[in-house]
Amino acid sequence: MNEEINFPHYIVKYKNHLEFKNYFLPALETLKSGKTRFDGSNDLKNYFLDNKDYQPYIDFILQDLQAIINATLGKKFTLWKENCWFVKYEKYKHQSWHNHGLAEWAGVYYLDLDSKSPGTQFQFNDNRIFTPNVNEGDVLLFSGKVKHRSPPNLTNKKKTVIVFDLYN
C-alpha cells in the first residue's frame, strides 16, 4: 500500500529530457565503463569522474541539473561531477535500502524508465513505505538521510538513472 507520507521531496520535469536521452543513451552502449562497483544489490554504478569519454555528457547534464537544483532548493548547493553517477538496472537488478550518509539532499534523474518499471521507494522509521509517482524525464530531489531503495526491475526493459548527492 502506498500511503501519502509528508516528507521533503520534489519532483521536477527535466525540460531537455528527450534531447539528453537521445544524446546519452546510445553512447552508454558504446563507451567504456568508468570505475564500477558491485554491491550486494546487483547494481552497477558508473562514476562519470573516472572516464574522460563521458565529459561532453557531463557538461550537458550538470548545467541543466544545477538549474533545477537552484530553482527548487535555492543556490546553496553545487552539483559536482564527483558526486554524480549513473546506474543501469536490467531485469531483476535492484538497489537495497540505504541512505546517502552526509548528503543533505540526493537526487535521481529518471533517464530511461518504462511505465511499468519501479521508481524509488522510501522507508520510514515506522516501516511505512512511500513510492512517489515518478515518470521518465523526472528529477526527484529528497533528503539524503531518508532510507530508500530501487526495487527490483521486473520488466525486460532497462531502467537507467543518473544519481547525485548534494552537500551544504
CATH number, domain with residue 23: 2.60.120.620
User: Residue 49's pLDDT is what?
Assistant: 54
Q: What is the domain count for the chain? A: 1
In a domain, 158, yes or no: yes
- CA dist 49 to 56, 137, 141, 145, 147, Å? 12, 23, 22, 24, 26
In a domain, 40, yes or no: yes
In a domain, 138, yes or no: yes
pLDDT class of 28 with cuts at 50, 70, 90: confident
CA–CA separation, 94 and 28 (whole Å): 19
What phi, psi does 164 have (nearest 5°)?
A: -150, 155
pLDDT higher than 50, residue 2 = no
pLDDT higher than 80, residue 103 = yes
38-69 per-position pLDDT tens digit: 444 444 556 565 667 777 788 888 999 999 99
In a domain, 3, yes or no: no
Secondary structure class of 109 (helix, strand, coil): strand
User: Residue 50's pLDDT is what?
Assistant: 60
In a domain, 2, yes or no: no
Tell me which residue of 6, 1, 9 sits closest to 142, measured CA to CA.
9
In a domain, 4, yes or no: no
- Whether 40 contacts 167, CB under 8 Å: no
106-144 per-position pLDDT tens digit: 999 999 999 999 899 999 989 999 999 999 999 999 999
Using a pLDDT cut of 70, give the percent of the chain over it.
Answer: 84
| Containing structural domain, residue 62 | 9-166
* 153 CB-near residues (< 8 Å, 6+ apart): 89, 90, 91, 92, 93, 94, 117, 118, 159
In a domain, 47, yes or no: yes
CA–CA separation, 114 and 61 (whole Å): 21
Mean pLDDT, range 14-36, rounded to an integer? 78
Residue that wins the pLDDT comparison between 49 and 26: 26
Secondary structure class of 64 (helix, strand, coil): helix
CA–CA separation, 121 and 133 (whole Å): 10
Residue that wins the pLDDT comparison between 88 and 117: 117
The H or E element that residue 106 is part of is strand 105-112
Q: How many CA atoms lie within 13 A of 149 on its CB side?
A: 15
pLDDT higher than 90, residue 147 = yes
In a domain, 144, yes or no: yes
